[in-house]
Structure formats: C-alpha cells, structure tokens
Structure 1
Amino acid sequence: MAKPVKLTAAGSLPLMKACLSSGGRHLGSLPCGMATMMLTQRGIASRPWVNRDRQQHPSISSSSVYYSPPATALGSSSSSSLAPALLLAVAVRRRRAPSSLLSGRQPKFPRLMANTNAAANKLCGGRSMPPAACCRHSGGQRFLSSLPCWMMPSTQLAGDLRRRPAKVTRVAQVHKTLEVEEPANSSAKNFSGGIISTQHNKGTSSESTIRKQLQQVDVLQNMGISRHFAAEIKCILDMTYSCWLQRDEEITLDVETCAMAFRILRMNGYNVSADELYDVAQASWFHPSLEGYLSDTRSLLELHKASKVSISEDESILDTIGSWSGWLLKEQLRSGALQSTPLFREVEHALECPFYTTLDRLDHRRNIENFDATGHQMLKTSYLSCYNNNDILALGVRDFSASQFTYQEELRHIDSWVKESRLDQLPFARQKLAYFYLSAAGTIFTPELSDARILWAKNGVLTTVVDDFFDVGGSTEELENLVTLVEMWDEHHKIEFYSEHVEIVFSAIYTSVNELGEKASLLQDRDVTKHLVEIWLDLLRSMMTEVEWRTSSYVPTAEEYITNAALTFALGPIVLPALYFVGPKIPEPVVEDPEYNELFRLMSTCGRLLNDAQTYEREYKEGKVNIVSILVHQSGGSMSIADARREIQKPIDTCRRDLLRLVLSKEGAIPRPCKELFWKMCKVCYFFYSQGDAFSSPEAKAREVDAVVNLPLQLKGSNANKLPVLWE
C-alpha cells in the first residue's frame, strides 16, 4: 500500500479549511479524487484506504487531508508512483516548490504521463487506447478518478462551496437604475455552476451518447442560456471533435448524429469538412415512399439544418443535401403526416426561416415557449443527473423575462435621447428607433452588453436620419454644409449652420460621437474618437457621391455602384464603433488590418444587395440608382427585372458564405466576439429584406419588437401553469 502523503496549504491552515475558506478556488489544483473527497463532511471516512491509514497512524487529525490512490483502481505497481507525480503537477501549476507539498520520495514530472498511461492500459485490459476511448471502455469512473482535474474532460462538483450573491442586473446609461434580484430559494441559483457531465456512466449504452450530449448543447444554445454552461459545453464539443477526427462510428454511422455534429461543431469554430457528410447523406438512404421516410424526419431535419451552414460555394454537397432534404420535408408537410406531431412546427420553421434569416432572441423565445413540444425529452438523461426539463425551462424563462426589463429601460432611454436631440422634429426623417433597437436586442442580447446595444440603436437612428436628409430632406447646399462641419469637427464653430435642419443633424452626430468616443477610449486605453469621426466622414462623402450621380443623371457601372453603395448602406457607424464595447481590446493596427476591411465589405455588400433586390421599384421612382436597374440598363434591354434579381442572388450567397467563413475562423487579427458583430448585422439584413422590404413598413415587424421587448412568455401545453417565480 502506498504511503499516505499529508498536504497542507500555505502556512499552518489545513488544506481542507484553506479550500473551504477560499471558496473552493484551490480545488482546481487537486486530483479529482481528493477534490470530491473534500466536498462532504464524511469525505475522508468514505475512502476505505484513508480509513486504514488513519487507523495505522493515530496522529492523523480529522482536519488534515490525505490522498493515496486505491490499489483497486490503479494496481499496486503504479499507485505508489502516480500519487506523488500528480502532487508534483499540483505544485507546478501553483508555482510552489514541490517540497512544500510533498513528504517522502520526490518524483519526476516526466513520469506523470507514463504512469497515467500505464494505469489507463491496465483499466483497458492491456489494450492501447486513447484516453477518451479508455474512459468509455471502463465506464469512465475508475480511470477519471485517478486523473488530476486539469486532465479530465469535465469536473462535476457536488455543489457550490461558497455562497453566491444574488444576481443584480443593472441597466447602464439610463437615468433610472433597475435592479432585479433573485430570491435565495430560486431555482436559478442551481445553474451557477456546471451541471453537464461528459462522463459515461456505467451500465449506460454509448450508442447515442454523442447525440444526446449534442442535443443538450443545442437546447441550451437555442434557449439563449448556453453562456451559463460555457465550460461544460466546450468539454462536450472538444470530445465530439476528437471523435469526429477519429471517424468514430457513433458519428459516421448515424445520419442524425453526423449532421448535428457537423452543424454544431462548425458554428462553434471547429474545422470540419462537409465531405464527411457525403457517405451518410445519400438520398438513397431514405425510402422513396412516404411510409419509408416518415421515421427519418429527425434525420432529414438535421441534414437540412446542416446544409445551411455552408462557408464556400465549393461545398456543393451541402447544396445537394439542402435541395433534396428540403423537398422531402415539404412533402411530409403537404401530406399532413406531421400535422399532429411535435415536429410539425420545428420542420415548418426550419423550411421558412433558415438560421441566418432570423434574430437570436426571437428563436430563444420560440424555443422556450415550445420547449415541451420538441418530440424527445433530450434533457432527461444521465448527463444532467441533478436537473430535469423543468429546471432548464425555469432558467430559460428567468433569463428571458429579466432581460425584457433591461430592454424596456434601454428603449425608454434612447427614446428620451431622440427627443432631447430634436430628431423627432425633422419632417423628412423616418422614425425607426423600434426596429433598430430590435436589431440590437435581438442579436446582442446578454445583459453586460448594454452599452453596445444602446450605441447600435442610437447610431441606427442617426444613419436613417442622415440617409433621409441626403435622399429627400436636404438641398445640395445643406448637404455640403453638413459634410464640411464634420470635416472640421472641433473647429466647426468657425462656420455657420446653413439651416436649422443642418444644426439638428450635426449636433446629434457631434454629441453622440464624442460621448461614445469618451467611453470607448476608457475601455480601450487609447483615444478612438478620431476613428469614430472618420467612420462618419466615409459615410457622408459616399452619400455625397450618390447625390452627384443623381443630379448629373450619371449611371455608374455595376462595379462603381457596389463599391460606393456598400458604404452608403450606412452600416459603418452602427457596427464598427460597437466593436469597442464587446470586451476585447482592439489595437490601432487591427482596424487597419485587411481582415477588418474584408469583414466590413462582405457584410455591407450582402446587406446592400438584399436591400436593392426588394426596393428597386421605389428607388427607381425616386430617381435613385439601384443594382437591379443598373444591370437591366447595362444589358441593353435583354435582361428583365426578374432576371436581374436572380442574377444578384449568387453574389448575395457568396458574400454570406465568405463572411461566415471569416467569422468562424480561429485565425486572423480580429477577436471572435468582434467578428460576430458583422455576422449579427448580416442576419439583421436578411431578417428585414429576405422576404420583402419589411424595414420600410411600420407594421411589418412590430409584433417581433413586442415579442423581444414587451410581451411576457406564453408557455405551451403542460408548461403553461409552470411559470417560475422570477423575483419577490
């Protein structure tokens, strides 16, 4: 039997007390068996080998912690050397001399992996297996209990070691502070730590383990609460990606699992090839008769969803899958076979609204309200052993409902700003505050990004006012005066305002940019106000170019038009300043990086073409150039308007795919949270323009505004009477 090793924290405080007094921070440095042992009052007594040591060494105090791997787990040949090696790893991680943690023989760090592999081989019957496979082979328990926490795929603690304070949601940038406090007995407190176990329990078939874990991830992401389980989700996805690379049969031989793994891994930044879907996605797998493929609805649905995450026009396999899977799903809807099934609404929504055409928060609401109607209770598994569907639903309801209070306060604040800035007094300006705030709250929905949402909505309102001023509200003299004022900026007082309208528009831009620049400069530790002014200047000068084309009746080439129109679509002042408010520091060279410019070009071009495809009739009557009218003009009459609209669909798809590829790539100078803002705005453009010009209609998206900001959740079915108490 290995000699027990006594551990103490720095000073004379026993390690158990030190860990408890530190809120459990030291547990991350301990081997899993010890960390688990310390979580209960009877932890030491529950370990038979420790009891034996205590009997043989009466001097051992109850407040000390001893660790020696059980011989039944590792075998007598490895246990004596593995324990010191693990403890040395603890010392290395904490940058403390090994002598302060060890008594007895000093091990060498290189032996750690050798001893661990030896233990793994013993558990796996002498066969050479990778750790993940060995975990599955042994049921996971014996092998995982012998590893330090940092080597495990996930560590599920028995409970919180420290009292967590009630969460307080504070709405920034509003005159009144709204505080939402969760009661101590609220079920949401259970979600402060990790709840997803990635271990395979003994006696549980691994046939559908990966599928169930991916379904768990999908549910949490679709309900907008995945950020509460970021570490656990990463463990699941890392393990799934490892299985994907090894072509694990659990993935490759199951259509639903393979399609789901491809979609979720790709959208979370893992490098997966669509070619892997070729073998499992043959249409011949599905019987041509209706009866033959009804049982494959879930697989068809997952294949159809996977086909939409294309990042290159070379991924023709995804186009093929999307075509025939969509046809089969539509046939099922037409036949009425799904009418009475829980999958009906999910299939209908997937066909009508690809994931890039809707806003995240609208999807979250739909999934929360229809949570019980998913057709399979994916969360009632051993992987969420301490929680059931009602717990997940309670957290989703609480998170969504609390965010609505935040959104309402922010919207009232921005509405007050519009009135204080006198923007509502401009007769030519469209009032689009509700739509721009919907686009902000619908995509940048987490509580801590309040500044980014407010900036996004304010600048959206301002760009609409400026666009209307250049299109219909201002004379050439007024427009030139506005451009000159912005060029002079802090010295604008040297010239006069040409009109009251110019004064209102410039003052709103000047005040807003300086206010945002001051906040952004504090966050970025450098002055960024100059960059914000340059963004506005680029927009105004491009708009002035369009005015010159219109007044001179000049028809630009398609290339000239797209280059300029990508700027006049006015997404720059909305998206680019928001990059400074989502967390990462952005050095000045980053905003000059080619990737930065390419992300902006793809987003703006995609949005402009979507807009032009739906607004060509109105803009033609107003005398404005549009890509549709330009293509018809350049064809000499051989191309119809319908042909021109079809012609621009390919560059729209190309821009969307190329943008998604850049956003998902782990390479490049732009941090991922910043790149995601470009993709979010791309989705906003699809949301308003994929099926008509909804942005120009005050009523088209009014219901969606209420759904995100105002209307309480309406749970369906058996959950209707289970709305949790949000606060008291």
Structure 2
Amino acid sequence: RSSAGDSRRISGSEYGPPLYSCTCSSSSSSSSYLSMAAMAVRTAAGVLCPLYLTSPYQDTDHKLLPSSFCPGNKRTGIYCHRRLLLLRSPGRHLQAASQGTERTPVVSEPEDHNPPPVGRIKKPLQKIELSVSSYDTAWVAMVPSSISAKNPQFPQCIEWILENQHPDGSWGPPYHPYLMKDFLFSTLACVIALKRWNLGEEHMEKGIRFVLSNLSFICDEKQHSPTGFNIIFPRMIEFAKDLGLHLPMSHTDIDVMLHNREVELERATRSSSKGAEAYLAYVAEGLDRFPEWEMLRKYQRTNGSIFDSPSTTAALLTHHWDVKCLEYLSLLVQKFGNAVPTRYPLDILARLRMVDCLEGLGIAQHFRNEINSILDEVYRQWLQGNEEINSSIATCAMAFRLLRMHGYKISSGFLTQMDEDFFYSSLEGHLDDINTVLELYKSSQLKFPTEWFLDKLNFWTSNFLAEKISNIRMGESLEEVDYALKFPSFANLERLDHRRNIKHFSIDNFQTLKTTYMLCNIDGKNVLDLAVEEFNKCQFIYRNELEHLQRWIEENRLDQLNFARQKLSYCYFSAAATLFPSEMSDVRVSWAKNGVLTTLVDDFFDVGGSKEELINLIQLVEQWDENYATDCFSEQVKILYSAVHSTINELGAKASIVQKHNVTSHIIEIWLDLMQSMMRETEWMQKKIVPTLEEYLANGYVSFALGPIILSTLYFVGPELCPDIIKDPEYHKLFKLVSTCGRLLNDIQTFEREDKEGKLNSVSLLMLQGDRFMSEEGAKKEIRCLIKSNREELLKLVLQKEGSVVPRVCKDLFWKMSRIVHFFYMSNDGFTSPNEMVSAVNAIIHEPI
C-alpha cells in the first residue's frame, strides 16, 4: 500500500480451487508487479520459481502456494492473499487450451492425505468473509455522482473492474464448468459499466469477444442460472447497444433470449401475488421501465438496501436518489476493498450454514467453543428481532432449528406465519426455492406438544418437496430432498448422515443468487479432509471394538445358545452410528454388550426357556451369588446367567469408578425389573390372560428391554448421577417415553407375525378393546399418533433446561435411542431381519471412505 493509500491487486483467471493474488505497494505499472512477483516468490521447498498468473492454459506441472508459506514481505512489498496465484516449475511448456465455448480448469490441488490442523478451520469461523461479485460491483460502478452525472459516484469500483478481468476477457467467480451463465452475466455488466464512463477500451473489446463466443451456454440446461438471468441479460444487451457497443448476434441467439425473457416476464406479470411483485422489484435493473420509488420503498431494509442486494440498490440509486441507499453502497465499497458482494449482510446465514456443515460432517466436536459462540450471538440477534433473520425465511428456519436443537429457549411463534400462502407471497416463493422449503421442512420436525402449526408446516412442505421430486428429473440438489423425506431427523442415525454428507460434500462451496458467492476464507478441502480422516479413524476403532465384543461372546459361550438371535453387529452398529466420537469407547461397549444380552434374554423368555428355567434365572439374579454353578436348572440357564453376572460386575465396577460411588446394585435392579416384566408377559400367554391396552403398555415399555442398554450406559457418559437424579421423575419419564415409542413401533411392524402366533400386541388389543369396531389400519393409525405424541414429549424433555435435573449429555442418549428404534422399525422389523441393515452396518463399520 503506497503512501497515497492506493492498493492494486493483480488477479489471474479464477480457475480451479481458490488460490492467491498479490497486493503490491509499488505504484508501478502492472508489468512491474508481475516482474516483482516472478522474481520474489519461493515454493514450499525454498526453490526459486518463476511466477505466472493463471491463464487459459493447461500446465502439466503446477503447484499451489499455501498462504502459510508466503507471509508479507516488507522488502519487496508483496503480500499474498487467498485468491488466485499459480506456481509453475521452470522448464515446463505450456500447452494452449481451447479458446472455444468450454474452458478447461488449469489448477488442481495436490493430494494431501494428512488432514490440516483443526486450527486452520477454527480461525475462519471467527470472521466470515464473503467473496465479491463482479456483477454487483459493475452496477455500483454505474451509479452517477451526486455532484455531476458525468462522473461515477464510485470510481474505485471502475478501477477494480479494470484490474480484475480474466485473461480470457471474462469477469466472474472462480472457474466452474457449470457457471458459464454467471460469467456471461458478470462480463456483460462490467463491459457496460466501462462503456458508461468510456474507460478501458481494450477491456471492453476482450469482454465482448468472450460474451459473443459463449452465448451458446444460454441454452445449456446444465448451467446454473443466476436469479433473474432470463430477464436481466437480454435487457443488458439492449442497454449495451443503446450505449453504442457493437454486439453482432445470430437470430437464433436473439430469439432464444427474447423467448426466455417473455416467458419469465409473463409468469411474473400475470400473477397478482406479492411474491411476483417482490421478484420484479428484485430484478428491477432488467425491466424495460424501472419501477416507481414507492413500489420499491416497501422492500428497503433498515440498512438502506433493497433486498440486501447491492445491484438492485445501485440500479435504484441510478434512477432515484436516496441517501440511505448511498450510505449502504458506500459502506460496502469501503468494507470489501472497492468491490461489493452479491448480498449483504449475510453473516448470520453464513455462520449457521457453517455450524450445520460441521455437525453434518461429524466433526463438530473439534469446534464446540466456536459453535457455542456463534449460536450465542445468533440467539441474541433472534431475541432482538434482527432484520437479517426476520427478512429471510431460510435464515429464520435454520436459526430456529439449530438453536432449538442446542437447547436454547426459543419459541416457534415466528414460524406460525410461514404457511403456504405466506411462502408464495415472498420472493422465495415466486422462485419456487426448494432449499428454503427444505429448511422449513426440517424445522417443522422439531415440534413440541401443542405446537400444532408445525404439523401444518410439515404437511405442506413435505407435499411440496415430494411433488418437486416427482416432477423434476432427479439431480444432486434433489437427492438431498429425497433423503430428507425418506429419513426425517427423528429417524436417521448420525453416522449414516455424516457418511452421506461427506460423500456429497462439494469443496466449491458456492451458492447462487444474482451471481455466485462463497465463503472465501473457508477452505472446503480442509474441511473435507478432516471429515474423511475423522470418519476413517473412528471406523478403525469401531472394528477393534467389534473384535473385542466377538471375543467376549465366544468366551461367554453365548454363540452356543441356538434358540437366540445373534445380533452383535446390529447392537454394536446402533452404538457406533449414534455414539460415534472415538473417546466414547466405554459407552459403545456397554451399549452393545447390554444390547446383546437383552436380545438373548428376550429370546429365552420368548421361545428358548421353559417355565422352570425362567423362574430359575430370575431367582439367580435376585440372589446374585458368586457360587451359582450348582443352582442352575440347565446348561442354558448357566450360560445365560454367567454372562449376565460377569458382564454386569465388570461394567458395574468400571461405572462405579466413573461415578465415584457403587452403581452395580442399581444395574442389577434394572435387569431384575426387565426379567420380571418379561415373566409377566409369559404368564399372560400361558394363562391366556388378555390385559387392557393400558396394562399392556405399563408392562410393555419395560419388557421392550431398553433399560439395561440406556440406563446402565448413562453411568459411562461422564456426569456424576447421584441417587437423587436416578429417583427423579424426569429420569423415569425419559425412559418411559422412549421405551413406549420403541414398544409401539415394534408392535406395528410385528403385528402380522405375532397375531398368527397368538402373542399380545398393542395393535390387536386396540382392535379388540376399542369402543367401536376398528380395522387393522385404523388401529395402526391410532398407534402412530400415540408414538408421535410420545416422541414430541420426549424431544421437549430432552431439549428443555428449566427444571431439568438430568444432565443434557445424558438426556441425549434417550433421544439417540429414539432415533435408533424409529430407524430400525421404519418400514419393517429391521432388527429381526437378517439382511435389512447389512448395508448400513458395513457403511459405518467396515467400508472406509
């Protein structure tokens, strides 16, 4: 930076992943900057290499210059930033790439199998940096001065345009093969801005050549289309011709553009909805007749902008002078270094997306402090009625979802207005914004009891998304929608979610409004590398734990119990898929061992044991004697009790160390309650007693056998659970709610089989004991309503802080188990099926990414 404060940037063609640009303190010409850069830069190995700006050439041996290797050099005045700078080893030849309609990426990052330090991801979370927009900067550059209409109000934006043209003549974001419409959009806008002030003749000529040679992309359906492209681009063509620019175009290109424009304008103008009106205001720079100020005033934010859009605001300022608009644009030009982003502010939505991304990839545990800090700030803004949250449906929905899931006291009241009519009266509604509806759909699943509106929200958003999937050819964007509909948040498992998100993660990390934008200080490759490494590292631990558990089964001869289902892989999978952090090994092992034992005991009471053997097993647990060999009625009882006895003692001893008091007796009590409830069901069967539905559920939630799995494992999670917490009604209610959900879900999926076998089931009891004749489907429908109400009550109990005595980390286990039982019994009895869950088990435990 010179003494005059002039800062000039040398930018190459923004092809490939984010690289670098230089800021030079010299006031010399651009060629001098290049010479300095070519002489001054060293590679990571310390070898001098010539420096070249990226260009439309393919380089067979190129390297990247990490920012950590190139600090500011006070002697040369060169500073490297995360933009675009390409290093090429000396002696290699450049091969000319095609100059036609398709541009070839020239940069590929070197493979790095070692993940970057977590710190390199943490730092950018503290301050989100948005990329600048050539398109919006061009419109700001067109604003005439308040003093003289013959001069620009923001000459520094003109300078930025002159300094940031790509070698192929275009302006726009980093290269991506599906962003050619964005390049056309930005390039034409920049050419018009230069012509508006008769500057940069050579730049204009190169820009026009680029536009004319790439017009064929207008008809390419694979291309991402900026919002309003079909309306604004043809109008810019007319504007350019009015300014005297020569744009020879074929009749075909003209016909296509005019047809697309007429179709979109007709759709907007024939609609009387507020959404269509908002859309026309948003794309005002593309209309033949600029809207009246009174029409646009209703969309002005408190920051002075129109829709937080610099281009729309600049277009308005060109036609109607407004001090607030001027202040908004002046702030942006100063803040972003002579350019502007495509939307501002965007800080809250960008931060929420980062939190959602880190959690979705399974690496949030590394950034817990940063995430808490972000959510604390968003919560403060929510309570203050922040306009950035309230003016965006997607931001509001995501903020609600993340804040509620993290235990903040947040009302769904603001979402009550977001019905279908409200959506279609908004800009997002006119654009049929699938991502916005998807956010609303996800938020609607976090319903507490009595929040009836969220049921309505869930109904219309799920129908909207399902219709889009059926009517639109399936693409990657709709794959996420399809997944969300198949696996709602209460019925998916975190680790499966992580794997899918990792596989579909895009390091490009761009979003599209009027132009593409991204978080330029967040390196997607760093995030992805960390997620993959974390997943595979944990998977290695899971396989070791599973081998340990297999030895435990063999040592205890549990594999010799031929009457029983051998479900070790499923039991351990349910632990690994939800209790996934590597440090939770004891938690997973306790969960899996108790899961295996409860399955064996359930089968023993169900089909494997005689009445005498069942009574004998319960007596052995009641006595809990070390010398039990001679007291066992049979070899089956001996194997089963021996395994239960040794395992409870082992886990109880470990848990007692964690809890700093003896908990083994409580674990024995949990097991005894389970066996007694199973015995009661056996007696009902033997004596042909038909209990009422209330009696069945009062016993059935215990006999569903989640007690030993959840309640025993709670002792390994971390917090000390004193006897007062264990006796508290909240503790018992959490267990009853999740167990009732599990029992009822199981009953729906096993009804046909159990009905044939003459076994008790809530569906059959409801059909028998209802006030009126009830069909099977009617009974199942009523049971599903009961499941839903229990699940909603459980979620509220898990998330609420006021009056809660059970630590949140412990309450989470109840919710995780609820997700597991919903997942296993979503479409059939997935736990009993020998093949239903095999692919899921392999994905979490055996198949690395």
Q: Would the aligned equivalents of 2:491 and 2:819 in 1 still touch at CA under 8 Å?
A: yes
Q: Distance in 2 between matches of 1:503 and 1:663?
A: 39
Q: Distance in 2 between matches of 1:484 and 1:270?
A: 47
Q: Would the aligned equivalents of 2:113 and 2:529 in 1 still touch at CA under 8 Å?
A: no
Match of 1:228 among 357, 366, 371: 366
In structure 1, the partner of 2:657 is: 522
In structure 1, the partner of 2:407 is: 269
Q: Would the aligned equivalents of 1:361 and 1:442 in 2 still touch at CA under 8 Å?
A: yes
In structure 1, the partner of 2:786 is: 651
How big is the shift at 1:636?
A: 7.3
In structure 2, the partner of 1:305 is: 442
Structure 1 portions without partners, runs of 5+: 1-183, 714-728
Q: Would the aligned equivalents of 2:510 and 2:518 in 1 still touch at CA under 8 Å?
A: no
Q: Distance in 1 between matches of 2:837 and 2:508?
A: 26
CA deviation string 1:639-698 (max 9, x = no partner)? 111111011111100111111111111231111111000001000000100211111111
1:709 counterpart letter in structure 2: I
In structure 2, the partner of 1:258 is: 396
2:503 counterpart letter in structure 1: E
Q: Distance in 1 between matches of 2:754 and 2:615?
A: 23
> Structure 1 residue 359 and structure 2 residue 490: aligned?
no
How big is the shift at 1:585?
A: 1.1
Q: Distance in 2 between matches of 1:281 and 1:207?
A: 26
Q: Distance in 1 between matches of 2:391 and 2:674?
A: 52
How big is the shift at 1:287?
A: 6.8
Q: Would the aligned equivalents of 1:195 and 1:229 in 2 still touch at CA under 8 Å?
A: no
In structure 1, the partner of 2:416 is: 278
CA 547–190 in structure 1, closer or farther in 2 if over 3 Å, else same = closer
CA 374–707 in structure 1, closer or farther in 2 if over 3 Å, else same = farther
Q: Distance in 1 between matches of 2:598 and 2:677?
A: 13
Aligned with 1:365: secondary structure? helix
How big is the shift at 1:339?
A: 2.4
- Structure 2 matches for 1:604-615, cutoff 5 A? 604-615=739-750
CA deviation string 1:332-384 (max 9, x = no partner)? 11111x523x3111111111110111110000000000001998459x98867
In structure 2, the partner of 1:117 is: none
Match of 2:558 among 409, 414, 423: 423
In structure 2, the partner of 1:570 is: 705
Aligned with 1:428: secondary structure? coil
CA deviation string 1:177-202 (max 9, x = no partner)? xxxxxxx9933324488324444763
Match of 2:684 among 529, 545, 549: 549
How big is the shift at 1:622?
A: 2.4
Match of 2:842 among 698, 703, 706: 706
Aligned residues: 525
Match of 1:532 among 657, 664, 667: 667
Q: Would the aligned equivalents of 1:566 and 1:601 in 2 still touch at CA under 8 Å?
A: yes
Q: Distance in 2 between matches of 1:352 and 1:375?
A: 25
1:215 counterpart letter in structure 2: R
> Structure 1 residue 372 and structure 2 residue 510: aligned?
no
- Structure 2 matches for 1:15-30, cutoff 5 A? none
> Structure 1 residue 443 and structure 2 residue 578: aligned?
yes
2:644 counterpart letter in structure 1: I
> Structure 1 residue 216 and structure 2 residue 354: aligned?
yes
In structure 2, the partner of 1:237 is: 375
1:297 counterpart letter in structure 2: I
Query: Normalising by structure 2, what TM-score?
Result: 0.60
Query: Normalising by structure 1, what TM-score?
Result: 0.69
CA deviation string 1:73-109 (max 9, x = no partner)? xxxxxxxxxxxxxxxxxxxxxxxxxxxxxxxxxxxxx
How big is the shift at 1:285?
A: 2.6
Q: Would the aligned equivalents of 1:489 and 1:510 in 2 still touch at CA under 8 Å?
A: yes
How big is the shift at 1:704?
A: 0.2
Structure 2 portions without partners, runs of 5+: 1-111, 130-334
Deviates more, 1:478-487 or 1:275-284: 275-284
> Structure 1 residue 678 and structure 2 residue 814: aligned?
yes
In structure 1, the partner of 2:117 is: 189
CA 367–193 in structure 1, closer or farther in 2 if over 3 Å, else same = closer
Match of 1:487 among 600, 622, 636: 622
- Structure 2 matches for 1:621-636, cutoff 5 A? 621-635=756-770
CA 494–270 in structure 1, closer or farther in 2 if over 3 Å, else same = same
Match of 1:408 among 540, 543, 558: 543
Q: Would the aligned equivalents of 2:507 and 2:524 in 1 still touch at CA under 8 Å?
A: no
Match of 2:751 among 616, 638, 651: 616
Q: Distance in 1 between matches of 2:561 and 2:347?
A: 60
Match of 2:527 among 380, 388, 392: 392
Q: Would the aligned equivalents of 2:747 and 2:763 in 1 still touch at CA under 8 Å?
A: yes
Q: Would the aligned equivalents of 1:470 and 1:479 in 2 still touch at CA under 8 Å?
A: yes
> Structure 1 residue 598 and structure 2 residue 737: aligned?
no
Q: Would the aligned equivalents of 2:403 and 2:410 in 1 still touch at CA under 8 Å?
A: yes
How big is the shift at 1:225?
A: 0.4
What percentage of residue pairs aligned between the two structures are identical? 46
In structure 1, the partner of 2:482 is: 348
Q: Would the aligned equivalents of 2:648 and 2:668 in 1 still touch at CA under 8 Å?
A: yes
CA 655–292 in structure 1, closer or farther in 2 if over 3 Å, else same = closer
How big is the shift at 1:208?
A: 1.7
How big is the shift at 1:294?
A: 5.0
In structure 1, the partner of 2:386 is: 248
Q: Distance in 1 between matches of 2:555 and 2:431?
A: 59
Q: Would the aligned equivalents of 1:441 and 1:708 in 2 still touch at CA under 8 Å?
A: yes
CA 589–636 in structure 1, closer or farther in 2 if over 3 Å, else same = closer
Q: Distance in 1 between matches of 2:128 and 2:537?
A: 35
Q: Would the aligned equivalents of 1:196 and 1:383 in 2 still touch at CA under 8 Å?
A: no
Aligned with 1:695: secondary structure? coil
> Structure 1 residue 561 and structure 2 residue 693: aligned?
no
How big is the shift at 1:286?
A: 1.9
Q: Distance in 1 between matches of 2:527 and 2:511?
A: 12
CA 190–602 in structure 1, closer or farther in 2 if over 3 Å, else same = closer
Q: Would the aligned equivalents of 1:191 and 1:228 in 2 still touch at CA under 8 Å?
A: no
2:836 counterpart letter in structure 1: A
Q: Distance in 1 between matches of 2:395 and 2:405?
A: 15
How big is the shift at 1:602?
A: 0.4
Q: Distance in 1 between matches of 2:736 and 2:569?
A: 26
Q: Would the aligned equivalents of 2:571 and 2:592 in 1 still touch at CA under 8 Å?
A: yes
CA 195–620 in structure 1, closer or farther in 2 if over 3 Å, else same = same
Q: Distance in 2 between matches of 1:486 and 1:231?
A: 45
CA deviation string 1:16-54 (max 9, x = no partner)? xxxxxxxxxxxxxxxxxxxxxxxxxxxxxxxxxxxxxxx
> Structure 1 residue 320 and structure 2 residue 248: aligned?
no
Q: Distance in 1 between matches of 2:718 and 2:384?
A: 35
Q: Would the aligned equivalents of 2:677 and 2:703 in 1 still touch at CA under 8 Å?
A: yes
